[in-house]
Amino acid sequence: QQQVKQSPQSLIVQKGGISIINCAYENTAFDYFPWYQQFPGKGPALLIAIRPDVSEKKEGRFTISFNKSAKQFSLHIMDSQPGDSATYFCAAKGNFGNEKLTFGTGTRLTIIP
């Protein structure tokens, strides 16, 4: 059972544009929602994360928007750059004592000049 659904599967954005990736979850016990960035041949690296007590978190050009009632969260990349071209994974984890990260299926982002 896929507990974290991610869309789109792939995304092409022009340089300087806004990239938006969406995720939805089912398990209401999740209380930590990270986004990971993965380049070819590398392991995933934490980009930004949010807990459900806030609706938005911003770090530089990256923003997570969180809608607890809809059980949805999204990643926004402002002023997208070619260096942002990578695969992005959303994930979710339960509270203390349940450290299992459940990942989405990933979004391959390509930023074109």
- In the chain, the amino acid numbered 37 is Q
Rounded to 10 degrees, the C-alpha dihedral 43/54/105/30 comes to 100
Residue 102, judged by CB atoms within 10 A of its CB (0-12, 13-18, 19+), counts as middle
Least separation in angstroms between residue 28's CB and other proteins is: 20
Least separation in angstroms between residue 82's CB and other proteins is: 22
Least separation in angstroms between residue 5's CB and other proteins is: 11
Distance in angstroms (rounded) separating the CA atoms of residues 76 and 58: 9
Which stretches of the chain bind other proteins, using CB under 8 A? 4, 6, 34, 41-46, 49, 89, 91, 96, 99-101, 103-106
Q: Name the residue nearer to other proteins (CB basis): 44 or 111.
A: 44
Q: Name the residue nearer to other proteins (CB basis): 5 or 17.
A: 5
- In the chain, the amino acid numbered 64 is I
Q: Name the residue nearer to other proteins (CB basis): 17 or 94.
A: 94
